Amino acid sequence: MKQEILLALPGVWTEIEPGLFAKQYNNGAAWIEARLNGEMALFEAKVSSTLGNVISVAQCVGDQSVKASDRAAVEEAITSLEMKLDKSLHEHLEPVVELLCSGCGAVTYGRQWHNRDDGYGVCPKCVDWLAEREPAEAMKRNYGIRGVHYNVACPETAERGQ
């Protein structure tokens, strides 16, 4: 049955624990969880806010749960949650701002991470160097989420650093 369910889930999913699967978006800043309950699948979309808190965005439960092997129903539930995730990512994230790299002092763009002094982040050059030397969990703890807090494209509307 597990193989049948994995085939019904579109895209790349990771089994977190028996019966719980996750698909990540935006470099791990958002994800959808699929929890199997017998032959039914319950879906929940979650977003990690700028401060690292997990926010549950939407949930398909009760009469909205779908038969795990019903490919069309699974895809419809996931598509609906993906649209809610996209909207929520934009609502819960702070704007991209100009920051100074805490490693080399260069100007970079990103979102303030709670574990950095105000106005500081990490530039793409330094983050590549750091990523080769620090475990992923330390990178997240110290610098935030790639694509959310650092390695963010320079928007024309970026606000001046704090």
> Quick one: pLDDT at residue 92?
60
Reported in sequence order, the residue ranges of the chain that DSSP labels E, i.e. its strands, are: 14-17, 20-25, 30-37, 40-48, 54-60, 66-67, 97-101, 107-110, 120-121
> Quick one: pLDDT at residue 61?
37
DSSP 9: S
pLDDT along the chain (162 residues), means of 10: 52 80 76 79 74 58 63 78 70 79 92 86 92 85 82 63 46
- Of 75, 92, 109, at which residue does a domain stop? 92
Q: Are residues 101 and 153 in the same domain?
A: yes
What one-letter code names the amino acid at 47?
A: V
Give me the DSSP letters along 125-146: HHHHHHHTTS-HHHHHHHH--B
> Quick one: pLDDT at residue 99?
93
> Quick one: pLDDT at residue 62?
38
- Domain span at residue 157 reads 95-162
Q: Are residues 66 and 31 in the same domain?
A: yes
Q: Are residues 108 and 46 in the same domain?
A: no
- Of 92, 116, 149, at which residue does a domain stop? 92
Q: Are residues 99 and 117 in the same domain?
A: yes
